[in-house]
DNA sequence: GTCTATATTTAGATAGAC
DNA sequence: GTCTATCTAAATATAGAC
């Protein structure tokens, strides 16, 4: 739990030494250690998602990856850095696609602002569509994000990757809800995150409560409820009803 | 991380030996070990909230409590049981008050169903009002709940304490939103939880995003946004717009 | 890049004196 | 009910042979 007070744990290998001699035309380089790196990343993603960062050991992770324990240190340096790389590889993809989707919604709307629904869909779609396809890696990533979302020591760590996305959408919401106070927009974005996180975390609670009527892994079904809920909620912030 | 494979760790002291000879008229018994118990509970609450269950050691907890390490085992048996008791003592209070508040809303509404707002306030009020008063213990409890809310291994553990509350409110929402499909009600309840959790977790993200305009610790302000957001969201589930 | 072996620290849990 | 002292297992991290 407590950080080593000794010298900073410096990975022997620089952060991004891959693809150096790979001025190759296409396809993956797939050199010796790349499959190892990937195995560790995947196993870590799954393990962190299931048990939280502090709930799994590097031993468990490397065992699941089918590689030697020492390779975790060789490829990633510290456990914290491993977590960081697990998050970053998919966060980049989601961020880019969200921003693209928002840009597309803007183009479609012409001179007006995109609707609240369009903005919400641009935000939720890129991540939730991937979960809906039952890709195991993306589902683990979703659980992991939900876990990191609520602990201060991790939100601080991941803010660099996640906050830029936020500001794009907060701006868009501002334009779509001209009557909503500035404060309401920020809180509304947080509530949007919170509602989404309930889908990402997939804890199995909803099947317990509904006795099987709803299912945590039915992301399509959840998305059909999530979009109107969040859109209606955001609109309520912008109205004068309260 | 992994459970001891040996014999189950049985606390030497039975679960609820307190207040036995305390056929006293009023006030707290405050016998020798009770202040120790309380110190440990408080320190554990705070520590679990800050770093998660697996992110703190019993040593840290007992040091913060100002008591000897061995007393954690004596009073609570295992670390898991300590967590359970930390949750249970406040969850009971919140549950009772929520159910009372809902009953009161029913009485006020007469033959009709209480409004969605009234139901939402009956749910959010009992917990968030306590946080709004800046009681440190309740704030830690809030953070902790948000942490437990997203990890399957903990939701299963706490479902016994938290699910009964849920069913009361899901029933109330069913009556308040007669046009909403059954599925929507369950998901709506989950989204309600999710939005609330964003307030409970108090990660500091909203001050980063809003550059200080909104504050994580301004629970009153958050509640003023949360109620219309959630109510509007739930109503949108019950309308035919989507 | 990978493995064996191990250093070092820290964890949860207890035995037994007081 | 509390403390000292410790057991045992498990953690992260690394050195060095291959």
Considering all nucleic acid strands, name the nucleotide whose C1' atom is nearest to the C-alpha of residue B17. Answer: D1
Q: With respect to CATH, is domain A32-76 assigned 1.10.10.60?
A: yes
- pLDDT at residue A65, as a whole number: 97
Give B89-238's CATH code, choosing from 1.10.357.10, 1.10.287.610, 3.30.160.270, 3.40.50.300. 1.10.357.10
Residue in A1, A53, A231 nearest the CB of B57: A1
Q: Give yes or no for A187 touching B (CB within 8 A).
A: yes
Q: Name the CA radius of gyration of chain B, rounded.
A: 20
Partners of B155 on chain A (C-beta within 8 Å) are: 203-205
**pLDDT of B242 strictly over 60:** no
Contact predicate A177/A85, CB 8 Å: no
Contact predicate A113/A169, CB 8 Å: no
**pLDDT of A61 strictly over 70:** yes
Q: What is the pLDDT of residues A176-214, one digit of tens each?
A: 999 999 999 999 999 999 999 999 999 999 999 999 999
For a pLDDT cut of 90, what percent of chain B falls above it?
A: 82
Question: Which nucleotides of strand C lie under 7 Å from a protein CB?
Answer: 1-6, 10-16
Q: For the residues B211-231, what does the mean pLDDT come to?
A: 98
**pLDDT of B19 strictly over 60:** no
Q: Gap from B77 CA to C17 C1', in Å? A: 21
Whole-Å CA distances, A48 to A8, A57, B171, B175:
23, 9, 35, 40
Contact predicate A142/A48, CB 8 Å: no
Q: Gap from B98 CA to D2 C1', in Å? A: 39
Return the CATH architecture of domain A87-238.
Orthogonal Bundle (1.10)
- pLDDT at residue B13, as a whole number: 46
Is the distance between the Cβ of B74 and the closest atom of strand D smaller than 7 Å? yes
- The residue of chain B nearest to residue A146, with distances taken between CA atoms, is B150
Contact predicate B205/A153, CB 8 Å: no
- pLDDT at residue A11, as a whole number: 44
> Shortest Cα distance from A34 to chain B (angstroms)?
29
Return mean pLDDT, chain B: 90
Short-list A77, A10, A84, A14, CA closest to A44: A84
Is the distance between the Cβ of B7 and the closest atom of strand D smaller than 7 Å? no
**Cβ separation of A186 and B233 shorter than 8 Å?**
no
Partners of A241 on chain B (C-beta within 8 Å) are: 228
**What b-and-e string marks burial along A86-120, b requiring 16 or more CB atoms within 10 Å of the CB?**
bbeebbeebbebbbebbeebbeeeeeebbebbbbb
Q: What is the pLDDT of residues A5-36, one digit of tens each?
A: 333 333 444 443 443 334 444 565 677 789 99
Q: What global pTM score does this model have?
A: 0.91
Q: Which residue has the tokens 């830029």?
A: A164
Task: Tell me whether the CATH fold assigned to B34-76 matches the one assigned to B89-238.
Answer: no
Residues 111-130 of B with CB under 7 A from strand D: none
Q: Gap from B235 CA to D6 C1', in Å? A: 61
Residues found in chain B: 242
Residue in A54, A56, A187 nearest the CB of B214: A187
Q: What is the pLDDT of residues B126-161, one digit of tens each?
A: 999 999 999 999 999 999 999 999 999 999 888 999
- pLDDT at residue A5, as a whole number: 34
Partners of A151 on chain B (C-beta within 8 Å) are: 51-52, 55, 147, 201, 203
Q: Which of A223-227, B14-18, B153-157 has the highest mean pLDDT?
A: A223-227
- pLDDT at residue B26, as a whole number: 56
Q: Which residue has the tokens 């989601």?
A: A94
The SS3 call for residue B203 is coil
Contact predicate B106/B98, CB 8 Å: no
Q: Give yes or no for A214 touching B (CB within 8 A).
A: yes
Is the distance between the Cβ of A70 and the closest atom of strand C smaller than 7 Å? yes
- Residue whose CA is minimally distant from C3 C1': A68
Q: Gap from B12 CA to C16 C1', in Å? A: 14
> Shortest Cα distance from A192 to chain B (angstroms)?
7
Query: What is the rounded distance in angstroms from the CA atom of residue A54 to the CA atom of residue A187?
Result: 29
Q: What is the pLDDT of residues A106-121, one digit of tens each?
A: 999 999 999 999 999 9
> Shortest Cα distance from A70 to chain B (angstroms)?
20
Partners of B186 on chain A (C-beta within 8 Å) are: 206, 209-210, 213-214
Confidence band of B39 (pLDDT split at 50, 70, 90): very high
Is the distance between the Cβ of A204 and the closest atom of strand D smaller than 7 Å? no
Give the lowest-confidence range in A135-149, A153-167, B69-83, B175-189.
A153-167
Displacement of CA B133 from its chain's centroid (Å): 16
Confidence band of A238 (pLDDT split at 50, 70, 90): confident
**pLDDT of B123 strictly over 60:** yes
Give the lowest-confidence range in A76-90, A161-175, B22-36.
B22-36
Q: What is the pLDDT of residues B88-110, one digit of tens each?
A: 999 999 999 999 999 999 999 99
Q: Give yes or no for A157 touching B (CB within 8 A).
A: no
Q: What is the pLDDT of residues B165-204, one digit of tens each?
A: 999 999 999 999 999 999 999 999 999 999 999 999 999 9
- The residue of chain B nearest to residue A225, with distances taken between CA atoms, is B184
Tokens of A239: 């109205």
| Total Cβ atoms within 10 A of residue A161 | 16
Q: What CATH topology corresponds to B34-76?
A: Arc Repressor Mutant, subunit A (1.10.10)
């Amino acid at each position: 739990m407590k950080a080593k007070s000794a010298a900073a744990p410096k990975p022997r290998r620089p952060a991004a030494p891959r693809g150096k001699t790979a001025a190759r035309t296409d396809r993956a380089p797939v050199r010796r250690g790349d499959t190892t790196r990937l195995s560790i990343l995947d196993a870590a993603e799954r393990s962190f998602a299931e048990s939280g960062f502090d709930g799994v050991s590097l031993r468990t992770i490397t065992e699941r990856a089918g590689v030697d324990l020492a390779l975790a240190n060789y490829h990633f340096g510290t456990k914290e850095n491993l977590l960081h790389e697990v998050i970053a590889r998919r966060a980049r993809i989601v961020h880019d696609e969200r921003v693209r989707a928002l840009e597309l919604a803007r183009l479609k709307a012409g001179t007006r602002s995109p609707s609240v629904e369009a903005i919400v869909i641009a935000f939720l779609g890129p991540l939730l569509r991937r979960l809906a396809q039952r890709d195991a890696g993306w589902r683990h990533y979703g659980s992991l994000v939900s876990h990191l979302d609520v602990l201060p020591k991790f939100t601080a760590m991941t803010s660099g990757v996640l906050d830029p996305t936020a500001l794009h959408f907060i701006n868009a919401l501002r334009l779509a809800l001209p009557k909503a106070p500035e404060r309401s927009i920020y809180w509304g974005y947080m509530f949007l995150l919170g509602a989404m996180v309930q889908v990402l975390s997939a804890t199995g609670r909803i099947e317990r409560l509904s006795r099987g009527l709803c299912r945590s892994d039915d992301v399509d079904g959840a998305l059909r409820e999530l979009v109107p809920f969040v859109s209606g909620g955001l609109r309520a912030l912008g109205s004068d009803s309260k």
